[in-house]
Structure 1
Amino acid sequence: MTEADFKDFYDVLVENLESFNGEYASFIDHGPKLFKLLADFLGYEHLKSQLKLKISAAIAYYVVPMDVIPETVYGAYGYIDDIFITAYVIRILADVYGYEFLSEYWEGEEDLEEVVELCYERSKEVLREKTTDVLEYVGLI
């Protein structure tokens, strides 16, 4: 196996979600790019350590096999909780750095703030009281 045979986790997310056409596709499709924004922003040299921990928690949540809504059981729907925690953390980052600055790390074509708010609100609607479970799982509350 060569280095070229290995996929970046972002590529795995894109592959897992690119053909999803279900009820929540309007925001699930943004998951990979939101994940990438967090991963890329983690490299920002002036990032405060408490924010690094929040970002790391959100990134790690993507790879936990049996989280609140596991992908292995629910398929693409299992990414709804991952997208929630990602949008939750990006909103915290936006409070500190602003969406304009975060947009430098955003590879999406849509407005970052609109995407984050859509993903946050829609995932909260689906998760309801499970949002607390997600935040507790990663130690953010």
Structure 2
Amino acid sequence: MTNEYLSKPLPSVEEQQDFYQKLRAKVQTWLDNKSGMVGKLGKYVLFAPDLFHLLTKMMFDNRIDAKSKGMVGAGILYFFAPLDFLPEILVGPGGFADDVVVAVYIVNTLLNKFPSEIIEEHWAGDEELLSVVRGISDSGSKFVSKLPAGRLVKRFLK
């Protein structure tokens, strides 16, 4: 990346919202055509756009300290990583499952450090944020722990 690229302004709020809605629609369309194990993953994968949106909003919240923003930034970069444990380029939107694991770990860490209202005000998902985090952490933990990213989080980030 060049300094020229980094000096460009962020997309407008409307452009960001448009990207978010398109990504959500793409994931939903993909899920509508899946069944079996992928279908079971679906409810977790559908949270990927919401969690990504939340992390990006947290980066610009001046109430979040620099160390926490470093963790948030790492989570955002994980979404963009071309080669992660479940690369989207190879497995389609199902590849967001490991991104969700990493994002939930980060959000859970932030929820333990800051008042939940600070984090929740940036949440754009349809369901309550705490329910989503709890649901993925609890009911999905036996499945999530089988994912490489789930094992990585348990091993290195705790």
- Class of the TM-score when normalised by the shorter of the 2 chains: 0.7 to 0.9
Q: Give how far 1:16 is off.
A: 3.3
CA distance in 2, matches of 1:12, 1:134: 29
CA distance in 1, matches of 2:154, 2:26: 24
Structure 1 stretches of at least 4 aligned residues deviating more than 6 Å after TM superposition? none
2:111 is the alignment partner of 1:94: yes
Distance 1:61 1:12, change over 3 A: farther
Aligned length: 135
Q: Name the TM-score, length of structure 1 as normaliser.
A: 0.80
2:32 is the alignment partner of 1:10: no
2:95 is the alignment partner of 1:85: no
- Which protein, 1 or 2, shows the higher relative CO under an 8 Å CA cutoff with sep ≥ 6? 1
* Equivalence for 2:151: 132
Distance 1:11 1:63, change over 3 A: farther
* Equivalence for 1:108: 125
1:99·1:112 contact (CA, 8 Å) conserved in 2? Answer: no
1:81·1:123 contact (CA, 8 Å) conserved in 2? Answer: no
Distance 1:31 1:24, change over 3 A: same
Q: Which has the larger radius of gyration?
A: 2
Q: Give how far 1:119 is off.
A: 2.5
Match 1:45 to one of 62, 65, 70: 62
Distance 1:135 1:48, change over 3 A: farther
Deviation string 1:73-127 (CA, Å, 9 cap, x unpaired) is: 2212211100001110000110111323211111123211001122334554334
Let me know the Cα RMSD of the aligned residues.
Answer: 2.6
Identity of aligned residues (%): 24
Amino acid at match of 2:20: Y
CA distance in 2, matches of 1:135, 1:53: 19
* Equivalence for 2:77: 60
Q: Give how far 1:15 is off.
A: 4.1
CA distance in 1, matches of 2:73, 2:51: 13
Amino acid at match of 1:17: V
Amino acid at match of 1:14: R
Which structure 1 segments of 5+ residues have no match? none
1:94·1:102 contact (CA, 8 Å) conserved in 2? Answer: yes
